[in-house]
């Protein structure tokens, strides 16, 4: 069994674990870049260092203790903890924020090995327990310093790092191919929507449906109350229950926003996902609309309308409408102006049936690919853990 030691035992004693700048001030042209959790792409580092925000040289100097050098490890500690990266040469002299911490490996420690060790299940579980049920899910420096890490020779560290560098690269390449397949399925479906509806007649959405607002400010919450469908629950054609909240029935202004009916469509009103939509199925009939827009079809096939809202023609018009505001935003009037393709009832029914078949295949293939992606991610995590902890040995990794 490999002996475990606290992370702080493997850190350069002259450069202890520390977080960065508390108040970085306004962005300074030609200033010192600093790294936030949001700048880090999982364990892949900072995709484009030139996009980092910068602080003044004076502020950076006052936080000289958290300046980073190539080979240091950065760990996000809040508000999203657990991202890791090795500092590249391009970020020499950069600094951190209060949400990132520097781990400077000691001279007898391979930084790549330490990076892999901090991605093991043991390290992640230790952090999850340390954070617990805190409202603000951030990792403090003390539990970070106490993170258990295998204590092995430098020779073994390098062999483990070499092996995981190569093996995870193969897995990552396969994951990337699967992700591209998911994107391709979406592109094919979007193209199908455009082609199948091209011969129909365009009319403003308000001609075939009413567009109204949801609840606005959320009412009092209740664990056993009425479900409220918010923007976070609207996921490209479907409603997702993750993060669902419920409201006390007595506090719902049902005279202004009645409960949802099957066949209605919810459209995200603002934020990064403005224009995303989801149809209300029987499962969600009786739920309450949140802050977003509510579309109630009255003179066209509701299935065809819902499917068109996933297509490029609709989304391009949403982009133009929300682009008029300083922040991405879509109001009921703008949504009502968007052109929808319609026809006589028979043509609408035939078109809807055609697109529903394409949508069914998209969903089935998408679910299969997502399942494969999940299995690959689990395999990757298990491989890292078993190699780092010594549960699975590798050639050349001498003790």
Widest pairwise Cα distance in the chain: 77
The Cα 379–Cα 121 span in angstroms is: 12
Residue 137 pLDDT > 80, yes or no?
no
Whether 167 and 116 have beta carbons less than 8 Å apart is answered as no
State residue 393's pLDDT score: 84
CATH fold for the domain made of 4-150: Adenine-n6-DNA-methyltransferase TaqI; Chain A, domain 2 (3.90.220)
Question: Taking Cα atoms as reference points, which of 315, 351, 352 lies closest to residue 335?
Answer: 315
Arithmetic mean of pLDDT, 74-101: 94
Any idea what DSSP says for residue 136? S
State residue 326's pLDDT score: 62
**Residue 95 and residue 20 in contact, taking contact as beta carbons nearer than 8 Å:** yes
CA distance 396 to 156: 8
Report percent pLDDT > 70 for the chain.
95
Contact 338, 204 (CB under 8 A): yes
Q: What pLDDT is attached to residue 332?
A: 94
Report pLDDT for 220. Answer: 81
Residue 170 has pLDDT above 80, yes or no: yes
Residue 371 tokens read as 């399942």
Other CB atoms within 10 Å distance of the CB of residue 396: 12
pLDDT at residue 135, rounded to an integer: 57
Task: Say how far apart CA 161 and CA 78 lie, in whole Å.
Answer: 27
The pLDDT assigned to 347 comes to: 96
| Residue 361: CB atoms within 10 Å | 14
**Which distant-in-sequence residues (6+ apart) come within 8 Å of 136 by Cβ?**
78, 79
Write down the pLDDT at residue 248. 85
Record the tokens describing residue 117, joined without a space. 């060790």
> What pLDDT score does 324 carry?
61
Q: Which value, to the nearest 10 degrees, does the dihedral of the CA atoms of residues 382, 387, 388, 391 take?
A: 90
Q: Answer yes or no: is pLDDT of 30 > 80.
A: yes
Instruction: Express each pLDDT in 101-114 by its tens digit.
Output: 999 999 999 999 99
Question: Does residue 399 carry a pLDDT above 50?
Answer: no
Are 4-150 and 201-342 the same fold in CATH?
A: yes
DSSP letters for 75-110? EEESSSEEEEEEPPGGGTT-EEBTTEEEE-B-TTS-
Mean pLDDT for 348-369 is 94
Please give the DSSP secondary-structure letter assigned to residue 342: E
What is the token pair recorded at 48? 């484009």
Residue 305's pLDDT is what?
Answer: 97
Residues above pLDDT 90, as percent of the chain: 81
pLDDT over 80 (residue 121): yes
Residue with tokens 């890490």: 149
Least-confidence region, from 5-14, 86-95, 269-278: 269-278
What was the pLDDT predicted at 395? Answer: 64
The DSSP secondary-structure symbol of 301 reads: -
pTM of the model as a whole:
0.79
Distance, in Å, from the CA atom of 341 to the CA atom of 202, rounded to the nearest integer, reads: 4
Which has the minimum average pLDDT: 19-28, 248-257, 348-357?
Answer: 248-257
Phi, psi of 18 (to 5 degrees): -155, 155
Say whether pLDDT at 23 is over 90: yes
Query: Between the CA of residue 305 and those of 209, 297, 336, 378, what are the distances in Å?
Result: 9, 8, 13, 38
Strand 221-229 to 288-289 pairing: parallel
Q: For 220-279, what is each residue's pLDDT tens digit?
A: 888 889 999 999 999 989 999 998 999 888 878 766 678 999 999 999 999 889 999 999
CB-based contacts of 111, cutoff 8 Å, min separation 6: 71, 72, 73, 86, 105
Mean pLDDT of the chain: 92
CATH number listed for the domain at residues 201-342: 3.90.220.20
pLDDT band, very low/low/confident/very high, at 79 (cuts 50, 70, 90):
confident
Is the omega angle on the peptide bond into residue 23 within 30 degrees of 0, that is, cis?
A: no
* Residues pairing with 86 in the sheet: 73
Are 290 and 228 within 8 A, CB to CB? yes
Residue with tokens 């827009």: 293
| 221 or 332, which is more confident | 332
Please check the confidence at residue 192 and state whether its pLDDT lies above 70.
Answer: yes
| Per-domain boundaries in the chain | 4-150, 152-180+347-391, 201-342
User: Looking at residue 223, what is its pLDDT?
Assistant: 85
């Amino acid at each position: 069994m490999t002996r475990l030691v606290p992370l702080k035992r493997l850190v350069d004693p002259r450069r202890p674990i520390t977080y960065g700048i508390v108040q970085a001030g306004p962005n300074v042209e030609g200033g010192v870049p600093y790294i936030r959790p949001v700048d880090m792409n999982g364990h892949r580092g900072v995709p484009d260092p030139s996009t980092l925000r910068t602080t003044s040289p004076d502020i950076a100097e006052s936080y000289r203790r958290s300046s980073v050098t190539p080979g240091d490890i950065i760990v996000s500690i809040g508000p999203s903890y657990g991202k890791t990266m090795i500092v590249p040469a391009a970020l020499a002299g950069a600094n951190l924020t209060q949400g990132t911490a520097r781990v400077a490996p000691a001279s007898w420690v391979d930084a790549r090995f330490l990076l892999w060790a901090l991605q093991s299940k043991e390290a992640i579980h230790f952090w999850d327990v340390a954070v617990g049920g805190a409202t603000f899910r951030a990792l403090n420096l003390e539990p970070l310093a106490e993170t258990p890490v295998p204590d092995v020779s430098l020779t073994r560290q390098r062999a483990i790092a070499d092996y995981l560098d190569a093996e995870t690269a193969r897995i990552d390449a396969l994951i990337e191919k699967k992700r591209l397949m998911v994107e391709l399925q979406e592109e094919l479906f979007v193209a199908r929507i455009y082609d199948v509806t091209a011969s129909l007649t365009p009319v403003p959405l308000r001609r075939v449906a009413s567009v109204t607002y949801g609840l606005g400010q959320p009412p009092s919450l209740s664990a056993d109350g009425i479900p409220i469908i918010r923007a976070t629950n609207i996921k490209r054609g479907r409603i997702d229950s993750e993060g669902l909240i419920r409201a006390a029935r007595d506090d719902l202004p049902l005279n202004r926003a009645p409960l949802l009916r099957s066949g209605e469509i919810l459209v995200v009103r603002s934020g990064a996902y403005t224009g995303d939509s989801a149809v209300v199925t029987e499962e969600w009939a009786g739920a309450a609309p949140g802050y977003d827009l509510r579309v109630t079809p009255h003179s066209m096939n509701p299935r065809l309308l819902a499917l068109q809202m996933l297509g490029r023609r609709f989304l391009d018009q949403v982009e133009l409408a929300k682009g008029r505001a300083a922040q991405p935003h879509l109001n009921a009037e703008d949504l009502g102006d968007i052109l929808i393709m319609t026809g006589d009832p028979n043509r609408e029914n035939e078109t809807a049936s055609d697109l529903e078949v394409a949508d069914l295949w998209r969903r089935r293939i998408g679910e299969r690919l997502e399942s494969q992606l999940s299995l690959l991610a689990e395999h990757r995590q298990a491989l890292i853990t078993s190699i780092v902890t010594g549960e699975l040995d590798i050639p050349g990794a001498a003790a």
